[in-house]
Amino acid sequence: MSMKHIVIAGGSGFIGTALANILHRSGYKVYVLSRKESKDFETYSRIQWDATTIGDWTKYIQSAKAVIQLTGANVGTKRWSEQYKQEILSSRVDSTSLLVSVINTSSTPPEAFISASGVGFYGDSPNSIICDERHINGTDFLANVCFQWENATRNLRKDVRKVIIRIGVVLDPNEGALAKLALPYKFFVGGCLGSGTQMLSWIHREDLVNVFMFALTNSHVEGIYNATAPNPVSMKEFSSTIGRVLHRPSIFPVPSFALRLLLGEMSGIVLLGQNAPPRRLIAEGFQFDYEKIEPAIRNLLQ
Ligand SMILES: NC(=O)c1ccc[n+]([C@@H]2O[C@H](COP(=O)([O-])OP(=O)(O)OC[C@H]3O[C@@H](n4cnc5c(N)ncnc54)[C@H](OP(=O)(O)O)[C@@H]3O)[C@@H](O)[C@H]2O)c1
């Protein structure tokens, strides 16, 4: 095994595959921990684990340059039954505790442990409240999930550099939030969701992947970082920007009650929001390619 390998737990998904690509191009050997059977791909090798128990996969943790944690049942694809909510929580918290305990008992631990979290940590906050990294956690379900997820890293040994990335809403043309929100516009039935005043702390997928590279390659990067663009926008501005870029009207608003009926508690993903700028990334000199929403959406949708 090469000395310069990276392990991405949960790396087979939306963020992980983009990250594996850039890591591969940068010369790293990438191992992705996945529940699917082991297999080699062009940019990474998939290694099977069950995300709950020790197994053969733990050998890849040894001497890794970094272990990156992205594991978690998707919050945007399925209605949140009580059982699924339990899975959303436990898939993140239990897999994180497992990785931490394997690292803690390793004789050759990785240099860094980089774990995802979300800006959902801050809960639902109005525009006027700036949720930078010092802000306290919210109280809704996803805020509690993020809190417990981050808390599962608290016992990580002190000689491993720890970075927690509170990810914003990741924008990409084919997958994730933008792909879903832009679809009605293509059929001329686009509009704002909910009151429109809720804040959306977004980030272009390319910038997010660069944030992970920044965390990986700078040994001074440590602790909690918001991974969002410097200019969060209201849902109203986000919707009208999609309309403008696609030359489609934004005249079919969907009221909050309809979204709650349609999506249940999951509607919180679009109805709740927070103004969470990347205070630490800016202070530490991270260069964004997409700082403002309109150029980002133009790049993604045109
Ligand atoms: N995308 C966003 O806008 C966003 C925003 C904030 C935070 N995040 C967080 O960042 C992380 C990565 O996001 P993503 O968009 O790349 O997610 P994703 O595409 O859903 O990928 C997550 C991976 O987790 C694994 N997984 C799913 N359910 C699991 C379960 N029950 N037990 C164990 N593993 C499970 C899957 O891998 P296998 O099926 O191969 O095992 C999957 O590929 C997630 O934890 C997410 O909450 C994402």
Listing DSSP states for the chain in one string gives --TTEEEEETTTSHHHHHHHHHHHHTT-EEEEEESSPPEE-SS-EEEE--SSS--GGGGGTTT-SEEEE-----SSSS---HHHHHHHHHHHHHHHHHHHHHHHT-SS--SEEEEEEEGGGG-S--TTSB--TTSPP--SHHHHHHHHHHHTTTT--TTSEEEEEEE-EEE-SSSHHHHHHHHHHHTT----BTTS-SEE-EEEHHHHHHHHHHHHH-TT--EEEEES-S--EEHHHHHHHHHHHHT------B-HHHHHHHHGGGGHHHH---B---HHHHHTTPPPS--SHHHHHHHHH-
67: domain CATH number is: 3.40.50.720
In the reported structure, the alpha carbon of residue 252 is separated from the centroid of ligand 1 by a whole-number distance in angstroms of 31
Reading the chain (302 residues) residue by residue, the pLDDT tens digits are: 555 899 999 999 999 999 999 999 999 999 999 999 999 999 999 999 999 999 999 999 999 999 999 999 999 888 999 999 999 999 999 999 999 999 999 999 999 999 999 999 999 999 999 999 999 999 999 999 999 999 999 999 999 999 999 999 999 999 988 998 899 998 888 899 999 999 999 999 999 999 999 999 999 999 999 999 999 999 999 999 999 999 999 888 888 888 888 888 889 988 999 999 999 999 999 999 999 999 999 999 98
Q: Ligand 1: which atom is nearest the Cα of residue 51?
A: 33
**Which residues form the domain of 50?**
5-168+204-229+275-289
34 in a structural domain: yes
Q: Ligand 1: which atom is nearest the Cα of residue 91?
A: 32
Nearest CA to ligand 1 atom 37: 10
In the reported structure, the alpha carbon of residue 70 is separated from the centroid of ligand 1 by a whole-number distance in angstroms of 6
Nearest CA to ligand 1 atom 40: 34
130 in a structural domain: yes
61 in a structural domain: yes
222 in a structural domain: yes
146 in a structural domain: yes
Domains of the chain: total: 1
Nearest CA to ligand 1 atom 48: 167
223 in a structural domain: yes
In the reported structure, the alpha carbon of residue 24 is separated from the centroid of ligand 1 by a whole-number distance in angstroms of 20
196 in a structural domain: no
302 in a structural domain: no
